[in-house]
Amino acid sequence: MSKTKINIVLFGIGNVGSTLINQVVESYDFFKDKRKVVLNFPIILNSKLAFFNKENIQINWQNNFDKHAIPYQITQVIDYIKNNNLDNIIVVDATASQEFVKNYIQLIQADFHIVAANKIANTLHQDFYKEIRLNLKKHNKKFLYETNVGAALPVIKTINDLHFSGDKITKIRGVFSGTLSYIFNRFSTEQTAFSNILIDAENLGLTEPDSRQDLSGKDVARKLLILAREIEQEIEFSDIQIESLLLPNLNEENTKKEYQNNKKLLDKPFEIAKITQLGTHVLRYIGEIDLEAKKFQVKLISEPQNSPLGQLKGSDNLIEIFTQTYGEIPIVIQGAGAGKQVTARGVLTDILKISEHIKIKQPEFS
């Protein structure tokens, strides 16, 4: 049976991007035999350099990139694709770059599909958000971003399917940060200072390079914004109420050195929050969309220990979805919500979904 060749143009070769390449290399024959697709990486790029690959990607791709990558402009990448008659293009954004997101509309207009681990495009102003969708419709292109919320967990797909099946979603709440899940799951059960657990999370690579980005609550708020917009709520980031876990005297205005040297200031307020709650409760940092009250909040709560959120372990995410059809019993999605392996696998799943769409639209080759 003939196969369809898919050309992946990968922007970003950090943890997620490099893991994605390795996963494709490891499963290349499997996808060829079972999915009838040949996944190719004709161009691999970081923020400054591009490697134009003439052969199928190999396990030693990093060495080739280091030897042969050259400076580029986005227009040169588009011209290379056109001049070499490359089709079935899926651009993968495995960066965290706000600058790169500005290229999305140009890439869609060049007839490329997009898969994004990068959350930024879906959290900018509504005008930009809508402009992307208008161009996708006009050019009949796909834009998938399941990993924007919950890594490889099917959160966005489930919410989208429920909403467009006509069911009325009334509330979405849960732990959306693997980092803060790990911290509060340990803090609730151990007699260990909050700052020590935070440092452990940093050393394990669970936090952002500057863990204030996690403690600020902004990352959770971005995920709430993405989900709210999936169910057609026309809101902006500023509409989300964020209870930061940082302190008035230890926050994003401090230098990184000041923050690193004074983490123990976090210990007392969190210890007070811990000991003043009911004995059967635990602390959880959640995001919540209440559509009936029109509230979008990121906050620290005291949760019954025997509830789904209260029983969380490790660095798992857990999202509860309440709908009119399901009543007071929520749909619960739980699992690893962070990590380069699961995120890369989620990106790969989106690539394969678009590949199935392309197979219907495009001729195959033997």
Compute the average pLDDT of residues 45-52.
Answer: 96
Reported residue count of the chain is 366
Compute the average pLDDT of residues 292-301.
Answer: 97
pLDDT digits (tens, 9 = 90+) for 326-336: 999 999 999 98
- Cβ atoms of residues 206 and 338 within 8 Å: yes
Residue 251 is assigned to a structural domain of this protein: yes
Residue 366 is assigned to a structural domain of this protein: no
Per-residue DSSP letters for 204-235?
Answer: TT-S-SSTHHHHTSHHHHHHHHHHHHHTT---
- Cβ atoms of residues 239 and 177 within 8 Å: no
Same domain, 147 and 289: no
Same domain, 101 and 132: yes
* Strands 37-45 and 113-116, sheet pairing: unpaired
In a 13 Å sphere around the CA of 254, the CA atoms on its Cβ side amount to: 19
pLDDT digits (tens, 9 = 90+) for 72-109: 999 999 999 999 999 999 999 999 999 999 999 999 99
pLDDT at 56: 75
pLDDT at 55: 77
What residues pair up with 8 in beta bridges, in sequence order?
Answer: 90
pLDDT digits (tens, 9 = 90+) for 167-225: 999 999 999 999 999 999 999 999 999 999 999 999 988 888 899 999 999 999 999 99
The residues near 10 (Cβ < 8 Å, ≥ 6 apart) are 17, 20, 21, 41, 43, 44, 45, 92, 94
pLDDT digits (tens, 9 = 90+) for 235-268: 999 999 999 999 999 999 999 999 999 999 999 9
Residue 110 is assigned to a structural domain of this protein: yes
Same domain, 239 and 328: yes
Residue 362 pLDDT > 70, yes or no?
no
pLDDT at 1: 61
**Cα 159 vs. chain centroid, distance in angstroms?**
15
Same domain, 168 and 43: no
Same domain, 80 and 100: yes
- Cβ atoms of residues 246 and 252 within 8 Å: yes
Same domain, 238 and 327: yes
Same domain, 104 and 172: no
Residue 189 is assigned to a structural domain of this protein: yes
Residue 365 pLDDT > 50, yes or no?
no
| 122: phi then psi, degrees, rounded to nearest 5 | -90, 5
Instruction: Find tokens 């403690």 and name the residue.
Output: 215
Residue 291 maps to which CATH number?
3.30.360.10
Same domain, 111 and 43: yes
Residue 232 is assigned to a structural domain of this protein: yes
Gap between the Cα atoms of 74 and 107, Å rounded: 9
Residue 44 is assigned to a structural domain of this protein: yes
Active-site residues, by number, are: 223
* pTM of the entire predicted model: 0.93
pLDDT at 366: 41
Residue 97 maps to which CATH number?
3.40.50.720
Residue 228 is assigned to a structural domain of this protein: yes
Same domain, 80 and 178: no
Residue 58 pLDDT > 90, yes or no?
no
User: Domain total for the chain?
Assistant: 2
Same domain, 268 and 253: yes
Domain around 292 = 155-336
| 114: phi then psi, degrees, rounded to nearest 5 | -135, 135
Q: Which residues of 53-73 are buried (b: 16+ CB within 10 A; e: fewer)?
A: beeebeeebeebbeeebeebe
Same domain, 41 and 104: yes
Q: What percent of the chain shows pLDDT beyond 70? A: 98
Residue 115 pLDDT > 50, yes or no?
yes
Residue 256 is assigned to a structural domain of this protein: yes
pLDDT at 223: 97
pLDDT digits (tens, 9 = 90+) for 117-170: 999 999 999 999 999 999 999 999 999 999 999 988 999 999 999 999 999 999
Q: What percent of the chain shows pLDDT beyond 90? A: 91
Same domain, 12 and 61: yes
Torsion, Cα 182 185 191 195, to 10 degrees, reads 40
Instruction: Find tokens 């001729």 and name the residue.
Output: 363
